[in-house]
Amino acid sequence: MKSFEWTVVGSDIGPLLLAATADGLVSVAFHADAPARDRAVDRLVAQLGGTPRQVASGAGAASAGGPAAPGRLAEPICQFAEYFAGRRRDFDLTLDWSLTSGFNREVLRELASGVPYGAVVGYGELAARVGRPDAAQAVGAAMGSNPLPLVVPCHRVVESDGSLGGFGGGRETKRKLLALEGVLPEPLF
């Protein structure tokens, strides 16, 4: 059982739910309006078995350079604000990998360490990097189950022909993130 803290922060791609255990950031969830937030917290309770504790985001203060929320989420909140402001290219956070295991964890760790800001990788290439060149579809499944999107940048994984492919946060969110990182041009409107 792992107790966790959670909060919702605003971002350029909509509200994000951030959750952390004593071991580190454990979950990031997109589009965290009230119903999605409640589902995400309930899912974390079921997966972690611990008690949730909501904390104030302090997002306004963090984005203005002031103090962020106390506790486990202070640094993640600050780094997310810096990322969306264009002042951070790499997240430097302690991560709790307990919501993923096996092949998925192996793929996600390779993605986190081997695909930098402003770069993309194909599903097949990522499969080859972990020694399973025929597992492109399994890499897609790993991306879909990523509990730490943005920090573990599944938005940087594209189809072999360069098209966007799928994304748990939606294709428009993926476009915005790749534009933020300079991979795609900013939309005209």
Residues with catalytic annotation?
154
Bridge partners (DSSP) listed for residue 9:
16
Calpha distance 10→59 (Å, rounded): 7
Sorted by sequence, the CB contacts under 8 Å of residue 42 that are 6+ apart come out as none
Q: Give the Cβ contact number of residue 146 at 10 Å.
A: 24
49: helix, strand or coil: strand
Name the phi and psi angles at 23, rounded to 5: -90, -10
Find out whether 151 and 112 touch, Cβ atoms under 8 Å: yes
CB atoms under 10 Å from CB of 132, counted, come to: 16
